[in-house]
Amino acid sequence: MDGDEPRDGVRETYDRIASHFASTREYPWPEVESFVADSTESGPAARALDLGCGNGRHVELLSAHADEVVGLDVSRGLLDEAVARSAERGFDAGLVQGDASRLPLADDAFDLAVYVATIHHLAPRAARVASLNELARVLDADGRAVVSAWSTAHDTFDREDGFDTTVDWTLPGGETVPRFYHIYAPDEFDADLDASDLAVVESTVSSGNCYAVVAGAEPRGR
Amino acid sequence: MKESLMDILCDPLDKSELELEVDERDGDEILEGRLIGTVTGEVYPIEDGIPNLLPPDMRD
C-alpha cells in the first residue's frame, strides 16, 4: 500500500457515508467548546479554521466566536452536508475541499483553529506530522488551536502502543464501510507534536481522546 | 465561495498565489469557475460554490 491510499480511501469512505455520518454528528464536543470559549475570552477571533470540518458542527461553534470562519475537508460529500447545515442554522463560512497535509491556505492566516478527530485518518506518520506543520504554518504564533486524536486510552482498545486499524461504519440497513485509523498512544501523540513546528501549550487525555492546545510557528523569512 | 476568500487561498503544491476565473456568480458568491496556480499552472475547479483544492494526485 503506498502512502496516498489511506487518504484516498478515507475520502471515498466519507463521501459514501456522509449523509448518515452527518446525522449522527449533531453537537460540538465539550472539550472543543471550552477550548473555544477560553481562547476567545478577551474577544472574538479575526479568522478561525476548522481542519477536517466534516458536517460543520464545529464551524457553527466557531462562527459564534470569530469574525470569519473557514472549514476544510477532504470529502466533498461531507462539505455538502456542511453547506446544508449552514443554510439551515444561518451561519456563514468559507468551505474548501483540501488535504490536511498540503493546505491551500496562506501563512499566518488564522488566529484560532480546531483540528479534531481528523489526524488519525492520515497515513503514513510523515503525512500526520506534515499536517501538524501545515497547521503551524497557517496559524499565527499568537493564535491557538486544539488538536485531538482517538487514543489507546479509549475503553475500546486493549493495547498500549499506537497502531493502524480499520473501524467499520455501519450504514442504516447494516452495510459496513471500513475507515482507516491510526490509534495514538498518548506519548506517541506528544512525540508527533514535538516533532512538528507547533508549540505545545498543554496536552491531556479526555474521554479516550488525546487533546493538545498548541500555538503556531513564528513567521519564517521575515 | 466568496471572492474575499481569495485573500487566504493559495496553491496547495507550492503555496503560491492563485488566479480566479469566474464562469458563474451570484453577487459576491462565486458558484462556478476555477483557480489557477500562477506558478504551477495547475487548474483547481470551483463547483457549486466549493473550490476543490485537493492536490492533483488526490483528485479523481
Helix (H), strand (E), coil (C) string for A77-97? HHHHHHHHHHHHHCCCCEEEE
Report yes or no: B55 and B31 within 8 Å, Cβ to Cβ: no
In this predicted structure, the answer to whether residue A45 has a pLDDT above a threshold of 80 is yes
With beta carbons under 8 A apart, name residues in chain A contacting B49: 83, 95
Q: Where are the domains of chain A?
A: 5-215
Cα–Cα dist A176/A198, whole Å: 36
Average pLDDT over residues B26-32: 94
What pLDDT, in 10s, does the model give residues A27-42? 788 899 999 999 999 9
Report yes or no: A184 and A205 within 8 Å, Cβ to Cβ: no
What is the CATH architecture assignment of A5-215? 3-Layer(aba) Sandwich (3.40)
Among B50, B55, B57, the residue with its CB nearest the CB of A95 is B50
Report yes or no: A201 and A214 within 8 Å, Cβ to Cβ: yes
Coil vs helix vs strand at A75: coil
Written as nine digits, the cell of A26 is 449533531
pLDDT tier, A2 (very low <50, low <70, confident <90, very high otherwise): very low
What pLDDT, in 10s, does the model give residues A70-86? 999 999 999 999 999 99
Check residue A221 and give its pLDDT. 52
Q: Which residues, other chains included, contact A197 with Cβ-Cβ below 8 Å and sequence gap of 6+?
A: A132, A133, A136, A137, A217
ipTM summary value: 0.97
Average pLDDT over residues A184-207: 94
Among A208, A115, A112, A120, residue whose Cα is nearest residue A156: A208
Asked if A5 has any chain B CB less than 8 Å from its own CB, the reply is no
What pLDDT, in 10s, does the model give residues A102-117? 999 999 999 999 999 8
Please give, rounded to a whole number of angstroms, the shortest distance from the CA of B10 to a CA of chain A.
Answer: 5
Residue whose entry in the numeric block shows the C-alpha cell 496516498: A4
Q: Do A109 and B51 touch (CB under 8 A)?
A: no
DSSP, residue by residue, A9-73 = HHHHHHHHHHHHHHHT--S--HHHHHHHHHHTTTS-EEEEEEET-TTSHHHHHHHTTEEEEEEEE
CA dihedral A13, A15, A82, B53 (to 10 degrees): 100
pLDDT tier, A1 (very low <50, low <70, confident <90, very high otherwise): very low
Cα–Cα dist A135/A196, whole Å: 10
In this predicted structure, the answer to whether residue A68 has a pLDDT above a threshold of 50 is yes
